[in-house]
Structures are given as structure tokens and as C-alpha cells.
Structure 1
């Protein structure tokens, strides 16, 4: 009844927001720290996260942490920093960011990984737009398109890095069993 309608409406709203995000990302000329900050903040600004008990407390905490990391990264590198500049981040810079944001270097690395994943999504969406191909209309379609098209667009170094990460994750998973 009523709960189902509310849930359906929330799903529709979530889907609409995702489509807006996909459109925004596809129109960006370049994927930068500032673009990433804007996308993370758009999610954090959802009204549900501001009302006690409405947003998932853990999720709100995580978004605040992400904001702190991103602001520290933007301070350290400048808002125009792109993936190439982020690749150059050494241990010293990561440590500075982690101290500024009051989090671990592992959290900084995780955020950098998210940035790179979003950069791949940006690359796929921007290329589709330039080729006058349709922009995905659902999260499922977006994932499928990224899986199909990203390998054609990534450099050898990017592919190698992704392969290494996947191998690390598999080894971690096997070690836990």
C-alpha cells in the first residue's frame, strides 16, 4: 500500500538523480578534482542526509569524511587537478592529505580509487556523447556500457593498473576464506 508507493517514488527520484548525474558528467570537458567534489557534494546535499534519522548515519558520516578528503586533495593539488596529476601523488602528499582530513592514508587511497572509477565513467560517457550515441538511461545500462566500452578507451597503463587491483582484491578475498 502506502509504503510501497513511497518506496517506488523514492526509487524513481533516485533514478532521476542518477540520470541527471550521468548527463552532467557526459557534458564535462575534463574530469577534475573539482568535478568529483561537485558530484560527491550533490549526493551529500540530498535533503534526507540533513534530517536526523532519515539518512543512513554511517552514510552521512562517510560523505562528511569524503568531503574532508576531497577538500584536502583540492588544497594540495588544486581543483583543476586531473587523473594524470593524481597519479603523481606520492606517499608524502597522501600523508599530508590524510593529516589534513584527519583520516588514514588507506582512506585517501580508497578515495583516489573512486576518483579513477568516476574518471573512467566520464571518459565513456563523454566519448558516447561526442559520437552522438545515446547516454545510458539506467544504472544497469550504465554498468553494461562501461564494461563494454571502457577497455577500448583506456590506455595500457590504466588497463594494467585495473588488472593489478582486481588481482589484489581476489587475493584478499581468498585470504579471508
Structure 2
């Protein structure tokens, strides 16, 4: 998984963890009230239940095996795979830290930044391996890329999640026609953009309050769980709670 897709995936996982934490605190606690707010302007709540299956940009790209037929003697192909995989992991670890720092130091999270995340996912070395270009995950990400590019063209790269939340149905239909994608696809991309914006808020909150920024996936997970409630608005929390049927 690339650094960009790792962040995209984590934003979705965070929403579900926020919802679980919200329930554990109880309906009368601050946690319950402060937890469900960052998703208030979502055009569609039903898509949350299908994120892991249908959100293309957040899907992990499947692994490709280059090992030889013998598991005991991997041979030259197994050796190459091991070296290549470790090198890629090291690169992605550095990219993840860079991406976290970029988001934490950016005053706002824009549509252009989100478009760059999607582009980064598709530029992964895995998409260049013969046979991988047609995988369902990559094809789905390419579909999202088409939608995001059209959004940038029509709305501009500096637009925020809050601005996109004000889009009327007529504007969404115009996007749908222009990129030749169904309205559901437009809404799913909008939903995912909002989740990334929540992650930006969390990282920005830690930066502004002198808290250490995550340096790896585990630290990112912890930051999401600790500070998610603090950055979400009440209206967003209500929508999130409704999306999960509570």
C-alpha cells in the first residue's frame, strides 16, 4: 500500500473506530457528543457501510507473488521479491512521514491535495507490474481519479471539504455527466475527501497544540483514536451516528 493509499485507508478505519469509541463512552458523555460531528455534510450516509468494499481510493492493492514453486528454496525470484519488498516498505515509511508532516503543516486540506493522494496511489510500483494494471482495485482507483480530476476542472483545486458539502444536486449531476460516472460515484468520492479532511484536522490539531506527530502507522492509529472526538463538530457526529444506525 502506498503512503497515499495508506492515509486514505486509515481515514476510513478511523471513522469506524470513532463510532465504536462514541458508543463505549455512553450517550450522555462528552465523547458521545463530540464524536459524531465531522461527517455532518455528507450527501450520502449509506456509502459508509460499503467503504471497505466499494471505496476505490481506500482499497489496498493486492500483493503480487514472484516466489518460485518451492517454498523451501525460493530461488532468485524469491530473493528479488524479498529485497524489492523491503526496499518498497522503507520508501513507503518515509513517504508516510512526509505525508503526515505535509498535512499537519497545511492550514487547510484542499481538493488538489486529495487529487495528489489519488495520483500517488496509482503511481505505485505495483501498478507497473505486468498483469496488475487490470486488477479491480487499480481500475476502481482510476475511476475515482477521473471523478477527482473533473472536480478540480470544474470547481478548482483550492476548494475545501466544507465548500463541497454545499454542492447542490444540480452541480453533482453536472459533474456526473462531465465525467460519465453515476451520481453514487460522485458521492463516494466526496465522502472519502471528507474523511481525509478529518484526518487533516486531527494532525493539524496535534501540530497546533504541541503534540508529537505520528511517525508510523501505529502512531497514526493512536492519534486518530485520541483526538478524533476533539476535532469533529456536533452536526458531523450526529450524521456519523445516524450512518451507523445509532
TM-score interval w.r.t. the shorter chain? 0.7 to 0.9
Give unmatched runs, 5+ long, in structure 2.
1-73
Q: Deviations over 1:9-40 (max 9, x none)?
A: 33333332222221221121111111111222
| 1:65-112 residue CA offsets vs partner (Å, 9 max, x unmatched) | 111111121233222111221111122222221222221111111111
Asked if 1 retains the 8 angstrom alpha-carbon contact of 2:133 and 2:139, the reply is: no
* Partner residue in 2 for 1:95: 173
TM-score computed with the length of structure 1 as normaliser: 0.83
Give the CA RMSD over aligned residues. 2.1
TM-score (normalizing by structure 2):
0.62
What residue number does 2:85 align with?
A: 7
Gaps of 5+ in 1: 169-177
Q: Find the structure with the greater CA-based Rg.
A: 2
Q: Across the two proteins, how many residue pairs are aligned to each other?
A: 168
> Does the CA contact (< 8 Å) of 1:129 and 1:135 recur in 2?
yes
1:149 matches 2:227 = yes
Secondary structure of the 1:79 match is: coil
Whether contact under 8 Å (1:49, 1:60) holds in the other structure is yes
CA apart distance, 1:48 = 3.1
